[in-house]
Every structure is written in C-alpha cells, then in structure tokens.
Amino acid sequence: WSRCNAGSGRVTFASSASYFRVFNSDFLEIKTLKFSKRIQIEPYLEYSKCSPCGSARGPYFCREKTCFKYYCLQCWQVRHDSAGPYGVHRALMRKSRRLSRFEVMDDDRHRSFMIGYPAVAA
C-alpha cells in the first residue's frame, strides 16, 4: 500500500480476462448490500525500463492488450508508427508529483513530451 497515492487502492482480479475487461473500460462498479459505487480505474505506472529493448528508461506505457508494456521514446516510435496498426494507441506517462499521477500522450502533443526526455542512445 505504501506505493499508492492517497485516495488510491489496489484491486485484485480473479482472472486476466476480468482484469483486461475492467482495465479497458476505465471504470469498475462495486455493488454491496450497503452501497453501490462506480470507481475509475487508473493504472499505477512504475518507473520501469523499456520492455522491448530493456536498456533505456521506459516512461511511456501502452495500456492496449496487444502491447501492455513500457516503452522508451525510440521503441514507442518504432512500435506505434502512425501509419501502422498500433498508431491509434495512446501512451500513458507518469507526471511529476506536482501534477496528477499520469497523463495521456496524444499525437498532437507528442513533440512536447519528446522535449522533456533526454535522447535515447542506441
């Protein structure tokens, strides 16, 4: 629990199918005899290395089931080329502590994110 932000919690799922169903819908509805609550599901993004290359920092996370990995800028651009089938995927990124936990990287704002990170060495 120490890694969660205030107001956050952890959810455990019985199967990977139910996990991806909730994760892709962004919301989970909890119903009990005493209350019913709809909560937003947001991933906790860790500081991680790039899953494909394993050598660079991976600040970009793709939540699509076909990817579901952390990427460095170079690997993100290769995998998610706008002309390819993964070009519609949007990356989630951690933000600094002053801002919210993560943000979505849109194609329009892609360049502003690239400026914030050092160049990736090949």
**Which residues have CB under 8 Å from 6's CB, separation 6+?**
none
Q: How far apart are the first and last CA of the chain?
A: 36
Distance CA 25, CA 111 (A): 28
Q: Which two tokens stand for residue 68?
A: 């579901």
Is pLDDT of 16 > 50? Answer: yes
Confidence of residue 17 (pLDDT cuts 50, 70, 90): confident
What's the pLDDT tens digit per position in 19-77?
A: 788 777 778 888 999 999 988 877 777 788 999 999 899 899 998 888 989 999 999 99
Report, as an integer, the average pLDDT of 104-122: 39
Identify the pLDDT of residue 106.
44
Distance CA 1, CA 19 (A): 19
Is pLDDT of 122 > 60? Answer: no
Please give the model's pTM, rounded to 2 decimal places: 0.59
What are the two backbone dihedrals, phi and then psi, of residue 68, each rounded to the nearest 5 degrees? 50, 55
Reported in sequence order, the residue ranges of the chain that DSSP labels E, i.e. its strands, are 27-31, 36-40, 60-62, 69-71, 91-94, 102-105
